[in-house]
Structure 1
Amino acid sequence: MSEPSASASIEIDAPPERVYELVTDLEGMGAWNAECERARWIGEVRSARRGARFRGSNRNGSRRWSTVCTVTAAEPGRVFAYHVRAGGMLDIAVWRFDITPSEMGCVVEQKTWDTRGRFMLVVGRLATNVADRAAHNAANMRRSLEGLKRVAESG
Protein backbone atom coordinates (compact mmCIF):
# COMPACT_ATOMS: atom_id res chain seq x y z
CA MET A 1 0.00 0.00 0.00
CA SER A 2 1.18 3.56 -0.64
CA GLU A 3 2.27 5.99 2.04
CA PRO A 4 -0.59 6.98 4.35
CA SER A 5 -2.05 10.45 4.02
CA ALA A 6 -1.80 10.82 7.82
CA SER A 7 -0.39 8.79 10.70
CA ALA A 8 0.48 9.03 14.38
CA SER A 9 1.84 6.69 17.02
CA ILE A 10 2.05 6.43 20.79
CA GLU A 11 3.46 4.05 23.38
CA ILE A 12 0.90 2.71 25.83
CA ASP A 13 1.57 1.03 29.16
CA ALA A 14 -0.98 -1.74 28.57
CA PRO A 15 -0.87 -5.18 26.94
CA PRO A 16 -1.52 -5.30 23.17
CA GLU A 17 -4.62 -7.44 23.78
CA ARG A 18 -6.15 -4.76 26.03
CA VAL A 19 -5.50 -2.02 23.46
CA TYR A 20 -6.98 -4.18 20.68
CA GLU A 21 -10.11 -4.71 22.79
CA LEU A 22 -10.52 -0.94 23.11
CA VAL A 23 -9.88 -0.25 19.42
CA THR A 24 -12.50 -2.83 18.40
CA ASP A 25 -15.07 -1.94 21.10
CA LEU A 26 -17.37 0.13 18.90
CA GLU A 27 -19.73 1.09 21.73
CA GLY A 28 -16.83 2.48 23.80
CA MET A 29 -14.96 4.18 20.95
CA GLY A 30 -16.47 7.61 21.69
CA ALA A 31 -14.68 7.66 25.06
CA TRP A 32 -11.32 8.16 23.39
CA ASN A 33 -11.83 8.98 19.69
CA ALA A 34 -11.55 12.63 18.66
CA GLU A 35 -14.01 12.58 15.73
CA CYS A 36 -16.02 9.34 15.86
CA GLU A 37 -18.67 9.77 18.53
CA ARG A 38 -20.01 6.24 18.29
CA ALA A 39 -20.14 3.20 16.07
CA ARG A 40 -22.31 0.11 15.90
CA TRP A 41 -22.15 -3.19 14.11
CA ILE A 42 -24.56 -3.68 11.22
CA GLY A 43 -25.53 -6.94 9.59
CA GLU A 44 -25.23 -10.43 11.03
CA VAL A 45 -21.56 -10.27 12.11
CA ARG A 46 -21.25 -8.23 15.29
CA SER A 47 -17.58 -8.57 16.11
CA ALA A 48 -14.22 -7.48 14.74
CA ARG A 49 -13.53 -9.90 11.93
CA ARG A 50 -12.79 -9.54 8.25
CA GLY A 51 -15.92 -8.63 6.28
CA ALA A 52 -17.89 -7.36 9.30
CA ARG A 53 -19.55 -3.98 8.78
CA PHE A 54 -20.27 -1.08 11.09
CA ARG A 55 -21.71 2.42 10.92
CA GLY A 56 -19.62 5.25 12.33
CA SER A 57 -21.23 8.48 13.54
CA ASN A 58 -18.80 11.39 13.36
CA ARG A 59 -18.74 15.00 14.41
CA ASN A 60 -16.68 18.13 13.73
CA GLY A 61 -18.14 21.07 15.63
CA SER A 62 -21.78 21.37 14.57
CA ARG A 63 -21.26 19.15 11.48
CA ARG A 64 -22.31 15.50 11.78
CA TRP A 65 -22.12 12.64 9.29
CA SER A 66 -22.08 8.88 9.21
CA THR A 67 -20.17 6.29 7.20
CA VAL A 68 -20.34 2.57 6.58
CA CYS A 69 -17.13 0.67 7.25
CA THR A 70 -16.03 -2.83 6.29
CA VAL A 71 -13.37 -4.58 8.37
CA THR A 72 -10.40 -5.55 6.18
CA ALA A 73 -8.04 -6.87 8.89
CA ALA A 74 -8.71 -8.09 12.42
CA GLU A 75 -5.83 -9.82 14.19
CA PRO A 76 -6.33 -9.69 17.98
CA GLY A 77 -3.53 -7.84 19.72
CA ARG A 78 -1.96 -6.83 16.39
CA VAL A 79 -4.05 -5.17 13.65
CA PHE A 80 -7.47 -3.65 13.11
CA ALA A 81 -8.24 -2.04 9.74
CA TYR A 82 -11.35 -0.99 7.86
CA HIS A 83 -12.47 0.57 4.58
CA VAL A 84 -14.76 3.59 4.91
CA ARG A 85 -17.49 4.47 2.42
CA ALA A 86 -20.19 7.13 2.27
CA GLY A 87 -23.60 5.60 1.82
CA GLY A 88 -21.83 2.25 1.77
CA MET A 89 -20.75 2.88 -1.85
CA LEU A 90 -18.46 5.89 -2.35
CA ASP A 91 -14.83 5.48 -1.26
CA ILE A 92 -13.60 7.73 1.51
CA ALA A 93 -10.64 6.17 3.28
CA VAL A 94 -8.85 3.17 4.73
CA TRP A 95 -7.99 3.29 8.44
CA ARG A 96 -5.56 0.98 10.25
CA PHE A 97 -4.31 0.43 13.78
CA ASP A 98 -1.03 -1.50 14.10
CA ILE A 99 -0.23 -2.67 17.64
CA THR A 100 3.34 -3.75 18.36
CA PRO A 101 4.52 -5.15 21.71
CA SER A 102 7.12 -3.05 23.54
CA GLU A 103 8.94 -3.24 26.87
CA MET A 104 6.42 -0.81 28.34
CA GLY A 105 3.34 -2.50 26.84
CA CYS A 106 2.80 -1.67 23.17
CA VAL A 107 3.22 0.94 20.48
CA VAL A 108 0.06 1.83 18.57
CA GLU A 109 0.33 3.37 15.14
CA GLN A 110 -2.82 4.73 13.54
CA LYS A 111 -2.75 5.37 9.79
CA THR A 112 -5.20 6.47 7.13
CA TRP A 113 -5.23 6.58 3.37
CA ASP A 114 -7.57 9.07 1.68
CA THR A 115 -9.31 7.20 -1.16
CA ARG A 116 -11.87 9.85 -2.15
CA GLY A 117 -12.46 10.68 -5.77
CA ARG A 118 -13.12 14.24 -6.99
CA PHE A 119 -16.83 14.14 -6.19
CA MET A 120 -16.27 12.97 -2.60
CA LEU A 121 -13.49 15.52 -2.07
CA VAL A 122 -16.03 18.30 -2.67
CA VAL A 123 -18.90 16.62 -0.81
CA GLY A 124 -16.62 15.68 2.10
CA ARG A 125 -15.40 19.23 2.52
CA LEU A 126 -18.97 20.55 2.58
CA ALA A 127 -20.26 17.82 4.91
CA THR A 128 -17.41 17.98 7.45
CA ASN A 129 -16.21 21.59 7.12
CA VAL A 130 -12.63 20.30 6.79
CA ALA A 131 -10.55 21.77 3.97
CA ASP A 132 -7.27 19.95 4.71
CA ARG A 133 -8.34 16.43 5.62
CA ALA A 134 -4.76 15.09 6.00
CA ALA A 135 -3.78 17.76 8.55
CA HIS A 136 -7.12 17.42 10.34
CA ASN A 137 -6.75 13.63 10.53
CA ALA A 138 -3.16 13.87 11.81
CA ALA A 139 -4.24 16.21 14.63
CA ASN A 140 -7.24 14.05 15.50
CA MET A 141 -5.10 10.91 15.47
CA ARG A 142 -2.77 12.42 18.06
CA ARG A 143 -5.77 13.38 20.22
CA SER A 144 -7.40 9.98 19.73
CA LEU A 145 -4.24 8.05 20.60
CA GLU A 146 -3.75 10.17 23.73
CA GLY A 147 -7.36 9.34 24.69
CA LEU A 148 -6.78 5.64 23.94
CA LYS A 149 -3.66 5.72 26.14
CA ARG A 150 -5.59 7.37 28.98
CA VAL A 151 -8.38 4.77 28.84
CA ALA A 152 -6.03 1.77 28.36
CA GLU A 153 -3.76 2.78 31.22
CA SER A 154 -6.62 3.51 33.62
CA GLY A 155 -7.54 -0.13 33.87
Structure 2
Amino acid sequence: MPTATTGEARVQIDAAPLSVYQLISDITLMGEWSPECYRSEWLDGATTAAVGARFWGHNRLGVIRWRRDAVITAAEPGREFSFTTLNPKGREETLWRYQLRPVGGGTELAESYRFLWCSIASRIAELPLPRDKQLRRGIQETLERIKAVAEQK
Protein backbone atom coordinates (compact mmCIF):
# COMPACT_ATOMS: atom_id res chain seq x y z
CA MET A 1 0.00 0.00 0.00
CA PRO A 2 1.32 3.50 -0.76
CA THR A 3 2.63 5.62 2.05
CA ALA A 4 5.04 8.49 2.32
CA THR A 5 8.47 7.14 3.20
CA THR A 6 10.96 9.98 2.87
CA GLY A 7 11.03 13.62 1.94
CA GLU A 8 13.36 16.60 2.12
CA ALA A 9 13.40 20.30 1.37
CA ARG A 10 16.07 22.99 1.72
CA VAL A 11 16.18 26.74 2.08
CA GLN A 12 18.92 29.39 2.22
CA ILE A 13 18.60 31.69 5.23
CA ASP A 14 20.38 34.99 5.77
CA ALA A 15 21.21 34.21 9.41
CA ALA A 16 23.97 32.36 11.24
CA PRO A 17 23.56 28.60 11.83
CA LEU A 18 23.49 29.02 15.61
CA SER A 19 20.67 31.58 15.38
CA VAL A 20 18.66 29.28 13.13
CA TYR A 21 19.33 26.32 15.43
CA GLN A 22 18.05 28.27 18.43
CA LEU A 23 14.74 28.75 16.62
CA ILE A 24 14.21 25.20 15.38
CA SER A 25 15.33 23.52 18.60
CA ASP A 26 12.76 25.45 20.67
CA ILE A 27 9.92 23.01 20.08
CA THR A 28 7.42 25.40 21.68
CA LEU A 29 7.76 27.59 18.55
CA MET A 30 6.95 24.83 16.03
CA GLY A 31 3.27 25.74 15.94
CA GLU A 32 4.20 29.15 14.54
CA TRP A 33 5.48 27.74 11.26
CA SER A 34 4.30 24.15 10.77
CA PRO A 35 1.08 23.70 8.77
CA GLU A 36 0.38 20.45 10.66
CA CYS A 37 1.88 20.69 14.16
CA TYR A 38 -0.01 23.49 15.84
CA ARG A 39 1.50 23.16 19.34
CA SER A 40 4.35 21.36 21.13
CA GLU A 41 5.10 21.07 24.81
CA TRP A 42 8.03 19.71 26.79
CA LEU A 43 7.56 16.63 28.99
CA ASP A 44 9.23 15.37 32.15
CA GLY A 45 10.53 18.81 33.19
CA ALA A 46 12.56 19.39 30.00
CA THR A 47 12.87 23.02 28.90
CA THR A 48 15.52 22.87 26.18
CA ALA A 49 16.66 20.52 23.44
CA ALA A 50 18.90 17.68 24.59
CA VAL A 51 19.26 14.11 23.39
CA GLY A 52 16.65 12.02 25.17
CA ALA A 53 14.37 14.96 26.06
CA ARG A 54 10.71 14.26 25.30
CA PHE A 55 7.84 16.41 24.11
CA TRP A 56 4.31 16.16 22.77
CA GLY A 57 3.48 17.41 19.30
CA HIS A 58 -0.19 18.34 18.79
CA ASN A 59 -1.16 17.95 15.14
CA ARG A 60 -4.11 18.52 12.86
CA LEU A 61 -5.04 17.73 9.32
CA GLY A 62 -8.41 19.28 8.51
CA VAL A 63 -10.79 18.13 11.25
CA ILE A 64 -8.53 15.23 12.31
CA ARG A 65 -6.42 15.93 15.41
CA TRP A 66 -3.82 13.78 17.13
CA ARG A 67 -0.90 13.97 19.53
CA ARG A 68 2.42 12.18 19.31
CA ASP A 69 5.15 11.67 21.84
CA ALA A 70 8.58 12.55 20.47
CA VAL A 71 12.10 12.03 21.72
CA ILE A 72 15.07 14.16 20.66
CA THR A 73 17.76 12.10 18.94
CA ALA A 74 20.26 14.85 18.00
CA ALA A 75 20.85 18.31 19.47
CA GLU A 76 24.05 19.75 18.05
CA PRO A 77 23.87 23.57 18.17
CA GLY A 78 24.39 25.09 14.72
CA ARG A 79 24.55 21.65 13.04
CA GLU A 80 21.59 19.32 13.62
CA PHE A 81 18.32 18.93 15.49
CA SER A 82 16.29 15.76 15.11
CA PHE A 83 13.59 13.80 16.86
CA THR A 84 11.61 10.62 16.44
CA THR A 85 7.86 10.44 16.90
CA LEU A 86 6.47 7.48 18.82
CA ASN A 87 3.14 5.74 18.43
CA PRO A 88 0.94 5.27 21.54
CA LYS A 89 2.71 1.97 22.30
CA GLY A 90 6.15 3.62 22.17
CA ARG A 91 7.22 2.33 18.76
CA GLU A 92 9.32 4.72 16.66
CA GLU A 93 7.32 5.99 13.68
CA THR A 94 8.98 8.92 11.94
CA LEU A 95 12.41 10.52 12.17
CA TRP A 96 12.32 14.30 11.62
CA ARG A 97 15.69 15.91 10.98
CA TYR A 98 16.92 19.48 10.57
CA GLN A 99 20.46 19.87 9.27
CA LEU A 100 22.24 23.22 9.16
CA ARG A 101 25.22 24.10 7.02
CA PRO A 102 27.05 27.44 6.85
CA VAL A 103 26.78 28.97 3.38
CA GLY A 104 28.43 32.33 2.78
CA GLY A 105 27.26 34.52 5.65
CA GLY A 106 24.12 32.48 6.20
CA THR A 107 22.74 28.98 6.57
CA GLU A 108 21.39 26.24 4.39
CA LEU A 109 18.65 24.54 6.39
CA ALA A 110 17.38 21.12 5.31
CA GLU A 111 14.30 19.50 6.83
CA SER A 112 13.64 15.83 6.18
CA TYR A 113 11.47 12.99 7.36
CA ARG A 114 11.83 9.23 7.13
CA PHE A 115 9.12 6.78 8.07
CA LEU A 116 10.55 4.09 10.32
CA TRP A 117 7.27 2.23 10.79
CA CYS A 118 3.66 2.77 9.77
CA SER A 119 0.66 0.75 10.95
CA ILE A 120 -1.62 -0.99 8.47
CA ALA A 121 -4.50 1.19 9.71
CA SER A 122 -2.52 4.35 8.91
CA ARG A 123 -1.58 3.03 5.48
CA ILE A 124 -5.24 2.30 4.70
CA ALA A 125 -6.27 5.75 5.95
CA GLU A 126 -3.74 7.30 3.56
CA LEU A 127 -5.18 5.65 0.44
CA PRO A 128 -7.59 8.50 -0.37
CA LEU A 129 -5.15 11.19 0.85
CA PRO A 130 -2.01 12.29 -1.00
CA ARG A 131 -0.01 12.13 2.27
CA ASP A 132 3.39 12.13 0.58
CA LYS A 133 2.62 15.31 -1.40
CA GLN A 134 1.06 16.90 1.68
CA LEU A 135 4.14 16.20 3.83
CA ARG A 136 6.56 17.47 1.18
CA ARG A 137 4.52 20.63 0.69
CA GLY A 138 4.37 21.04 4.47
CA ILE A 139 8.11 20.87 5.02
CA GLN A 140 8.71 23.45 2.29
CA GLU A 141 6.13 25.75 3.90
CA THR A 142 7.71 25.20 7.32
CA LEU A 143 11.16 26.11 6.01
CA GLU A 144 9.89 29.28 4.33
CA ARG A 145 8.27 30.38 7.59
CA ILE A 146 11.43 29.63 9.60
CA LYS A 147 13.43 31.64 7.05
CA ALA A 148 11.11 34.64 7.43
CA VAL A 149 11.40 34.60 11.22
CA ALA A 150 15.17 34.00 11.26
CA GLU A 151 15.84 36.85 8.83
CA GLN A 152 13.80 39.30 10.92
CA LYS A 153 15.99 38.81 13.99
Q: TM-score, normalised by structure 2?
A: 0.88
1:20 aligns with 2:15: no
Instruction: Using the TM superposition, give the Cα deviation of residue 35 of structure 1 relative to its aligned residue in structure 2, in angstroms.
Output: 1.2
Residue 152 (structure 2) aligns with: 154
Task: Determine helix, strand or coil for the equivalent of 2:50.
Answer: coil
Residue 59 (structure 2) aligns with: 58
How do 1:1-155 residues align onto structure 2 when only pairs under 5 Å count?
Answer: 5-87=6-88, 89-119=90-120, 121-122=122-123, 125=125, 131-155=129-153
Output the CA distance in 2 between the equivalents of 1:43 and 1:88.
18
Task: Determine helix, strand or coil for the equivalent of 1:97.
Answer: strand
Output the CA distance in 2 between the equivalents of 1:130 and 1:31.
28
Output the CA distance in 2 between the equivalents of 1:61 and 1:9.
26
What is the identity, as a one-letter code, of the residue corresponding to 1:81?
S
Instruction: Using the TM superposition, give the Cα deviation of residue 44 of structure 1 relative to its aligned residue in structure 2, in angstroms.
Output: 3.2
Query: Cα gap change, 1:88/1:22 in structure 2, threshold over 3 Å: closer, same or farther?
Result: farther
Output the CA distance in 1 between the equivalents of 2:44 and 2:7.
30
Output the CA distance in 2 between the equivalents of 1:142 and 1:88.
30
Output the CA distance in 2 between the equivalents of 1:114 and 1:133.
12
Q: TM-score, normalised by structure 1?
A: 0.87
Task: Determine helix, strand or coil for the equivalent of 1:28.
Answer: helix
Output the CA distance in 1 between the equivalents of 2:28 and 2:81.
16
Instruction: Using the TM superposition, give the Cα deviation of residue 47 of structure 1 relative to its aligned residue in structure 2, in angstroms.
Output: 1.5
Gaps of 5+ in 2: none
Q: What are the Cα deviations for residues 43-97 of structure 1, in whole angstroms up to 9, with x where unaligned? A: 1333211000000001112211110000000001110011111225133200000
What is the identity, as a one-letter code, of the residue corresponding to 1:133?
R
Instruction: Using the TM superposition, give the Cα deviation of residue 30 of structure 1 relative to its aligned residue in structure 2, in angstroms.
Output: 1.3
Gaps of 5+ in 1: none
Output the CA distance in 1 between the equivalents of 2:79 and 2:97.
11
Q: What are the Cα deviations for residues 18-51 of structure 1, in whole angstroms up to 9, with x where unaligned? A: 1111101122221111211110110133321100
Instruction: Using the TM superposition, give the Cα deviation of residue 120 of structure 1 relative to its aligned residue in structure 2, in angstroms.
Output: 5.1
What is the identity, as a one-letter code, of the residue corresponding to 1:139?
R
Residues matched between the structures, number = 149
Task: Determine helix, strand or coil for the equivalent of 1:109.
Answer: strand
Q: Which runs of 4+ in 1 moved over 6 A?
A: none
